[in-house]
Structure 1
Amino acid sequence: MFRFDVSLKVYLHRDPVDFRYGMNSLSILVEQAMRLNPMDSSLYIFGNRRRDRIKILGWDGSGFWLMTKRLEAEHFIWPGNKTEVVTLTTDLLHALLDGDDITTIHRHPRREYLRVS
């Protein structure tokens, strides 16, 4: 499994996306729908309608990269709030990638795991 730096910003797009979208379409979605800069040093997470696949878009300073994960027996659990963009910590990203239900993870008083923007 990949491990991501603790200081990395992670944004989750709430609505399902067409999984035929590639780097260009997803970067436009980041810019227009999420109103964020796709070329900053953040990760952007997108899910399909069935929530059995996710795509993660990232910029490394010289180009975009795109990672895809498919869960074989389960579904990814998306937060149920109504905002379009959810900010995750890398701890929650790792839990999401493991197939855990990130909506049931409780906050530690000193650490903020899930922020809604």
Structure 2
Amino acid sequence: MFGLEESRQYYVCQRYVRMNMGINGLSKIVSNELRRPLLNGDVFIFFGKNRQMVKLLCWDGDGFLLYQKRLEKGTFELPRFRPDQKAVEMSYRTLSAIMRGVSLRSVRYRRRLRIDNFAVSQIADYQ
């Protein structure tokens, strides 16, 4: 089903991408440059050079989904790129903040308990 949720893994391509690329071109970048598996449900995030457009590519079980957002005014604030890495994992909360226009420099997340899916299944099996 359509949707991006917190349970998925998100990876930002660490270089700007031509925004005229579609599913085929972006999936080649994921395979050849990022060296990540395409069909496991991860979401790959690509930004244009002028930072007014973003594309998100993910496998949805039986086909690819390509989300695109273009800002009519302003730009997306990006996390700092790491030149030594091809793709950097990003949290869903950070992606959500970027998409809403929240300044990443001013955001400070407070500590919270975080239990991954494996730990939840272990607790459920124990009870």
TM range (shorter): 0.7 to 0.9
User: CA shift at 1:25, angstroms?
Assistant: 0.8
Unaligned runs of 5+ in 1: 113-117
1:102 corresponds, among 101, 104, 110, to 104
Q: How many residues align?
A: 111
Identical residues among aligned pairs (%) = 29
Which protein has the bigger strand share? 1
User: CA shift at 1:62, angstroms?
Assistant: 0.2
Deviations along 1:67-102, one digit per CA (max 9) or x if unpaired, are: 110112211111123233121111111111112233
RMSD of aligned Cα (Å): 2.0
Which residue number corresponds to residue 120 of structure 2? none
Q: TM-score normalized by structure 1?
A: 0.83
Decide whether the 8 Å contact of 1:52 with 1:70 is kept in 2: yes
Q: TM-score normalized by structure 2?
A: 0.77
User: CA shift at 1:3, angstroms?
Assistant: 6.0
Distance 1:63 1:95 in 2: 27
Distance 2:113 2:10 in 1: 15
Q: Which runs of 4+ in 1 moved over 6 A?
A: none
Counterpart residue identity of residue 13, structure 1: C
